[in-house]
């Protein structure tokens, strides 16, 4: 079962990157505004590639500091890349790749510790109803790239135990519904028919006690399936000069069980532009998923680094 899931993921992943390197065939459409292609009398299609990559550093150093403190160094890398396609027939295809990884070194610690680890691909295909609304089909993939560890001390020695890895867990969502896109800075997808699956490596569930679960998956199982409704979207706004506020959000309701437990994922990113290359970032990420953890998850990052628009 897990091998089949990995092959499926590899196929989707390969298809996505093939699309990133595809070349536009009709250069005549370059003269048309992107959002006006399907209303144009010239016809044709339009593909657009854009995104942002960033390197952030946080550093603290203490030496003979009487009030105490530990020297630390944190490195963060992020990539947010988009592919948009539309044509005169009303076909719309939007794909987003989100990658964020980071590590922290703390003086005196034996191990480097993870500061961030996200890998997500979201792809949406729509058929235009009118200027802003489309019928839609959505596919979303979430996982992590690096192993996750539980750190503990035994006999005074620092040790760690691996508790997660790439594709374990892997969260897949696929849904049908409607897609509202006012511009590249504001879009919402409504999917009242959405399947969801949490997939894990069976090695993490084979030794679970009865009643215990691993990311919501039962003992000796490698997946758990859900059926419900999904609302997801993106909003971007310049709140003041050189300060950009970006929001990615999703809300999921399970029709089959625990309907009262609404899962949500909200990622807010403030980008403070110093100049064309240097900027600051403040990220506040709130996540609640009863199957993953019965508590609110909070991730907050603040750093100064290099920002490059692609």
- CA dist 60 and 71 (Å) reads 5
- Secondary structure percentages of the chain, helix, strand, coil, to 5: 10, 60, 25
Residue 308 near residue 276 (C-beta atoms within 8 A):
no
Tens digit of pLDDT for each residue in 34-70? 444 444 433 568 899 999 888 888 888 888 788 777 8
pTM of the entire structure?
Answer: 0.79
Q: pLDDT, tens digit, for every residue of 224-262?
A: 999 999 999 999 999 998 899 999 999 999 998 888 889
Contact 88, 95 (CB under 8 A): no
Distance between CA atoms of residues 191 and 131, nearest Å: 19
What is the pLDDT, as a whole number, of residue 46? Answer: 86
Structural contact between residues 60 and 71, judged by C-beta atoms closer than 8 angstroms: yes
Q: For residue 193, what are the β-bridge partners?
A: 176
Q: How many domains does one find in the chain?
A: 1
Which helix (H) or strand (E) is 11 found in, with range? helix 2-20
Range in 9-23, 120-134, 154-168, 284-298 the model is least confident about: 9-23
Q: Within 13 Å, how many C-alpha atoms sit on residue 285's CB side? A: 12
Nearest of 307, 289, 308, 309 to residue 297 by alpha carbon: 289
Q: What pLDDT was estimated at residue 29?
A: 40
Question: Stretch 88-101: mean pLDDT, rounded?
Answer: 92
* pLDDT at position 5: 40
CB atoms under 10 Å from CB of 8, counted, come to: 13
Using one digit for the tens of pLDDT, what is the confidence trace for 134-189?
Answer: 999 999 999 999 999 999 999 889 999 999 999 999 999 999 999 998 888 999 99
Mean of per-residue pLDDT scores for the chain: 84
Q: What domain range includes position 128?
A: 2-309
């Amino acid at each position: 079962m897990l091998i089949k899931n990995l092959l499926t993921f590899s196929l989707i992943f390969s298809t996505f990157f093939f699309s990133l390197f595809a070349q536009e065939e009709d250069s005549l459409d370059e003269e048309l505004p992107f959002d006006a292609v399907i209303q144009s009398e010239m016809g044709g299609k339009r593909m657009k590639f854009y995104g942002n990559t960033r390197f952030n550093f946080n550093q603290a150093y203490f030496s003979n500091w009487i009030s105490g403190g530990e020297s630390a160094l944190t490195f963060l890398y992020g990539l947010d890349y988009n592919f948009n396609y539309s044509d005169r027939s009303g076909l719309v295809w939007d794909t987003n790749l989100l990658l964020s990884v980071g590590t922290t070194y703390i003086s005196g610690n034996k191990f480097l510790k993870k500061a961030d680890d996200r890998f997500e691909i979201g792809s949406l295909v729509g058929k235009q109803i009118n200027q802003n609304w489309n019928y839609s089909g959505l596919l979303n993939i979430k996982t992590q790239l690096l192993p996750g560890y539980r750190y503990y001390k035994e006999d005074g020695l620092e040790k760690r135990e691996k508790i997660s890895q790439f594709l374990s867990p892997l969260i897949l969502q696929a849904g049908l519904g409607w897609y509202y896109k006012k511009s590249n800075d504001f879009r919402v997808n409504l999917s009242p028919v959405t399947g969801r699956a949490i997939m894990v490596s069976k090695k993490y569930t084979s030794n679970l006690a009865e009643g215990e679960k691993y990311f919501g998956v039962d003992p000796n199982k490698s997946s758990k399936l859900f059926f419900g409704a999904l609302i997801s979207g993106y909003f971007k706004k310049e709140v003041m000069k050189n300060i950009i506020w970006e929001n990615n959000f999703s809300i999921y309701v399970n029709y089959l069980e625990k309907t009262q437990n609404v899962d949500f994922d909200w990622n807010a990113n403030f980008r403070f532009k110093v100049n064309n290359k240097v900027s600051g970032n403040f990220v506040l990420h709130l996540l609640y998923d009863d199957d993953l953890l019965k508590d609110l998850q909070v991730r907050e990052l603040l750093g100064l680094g290099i920002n490059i628009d692609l």
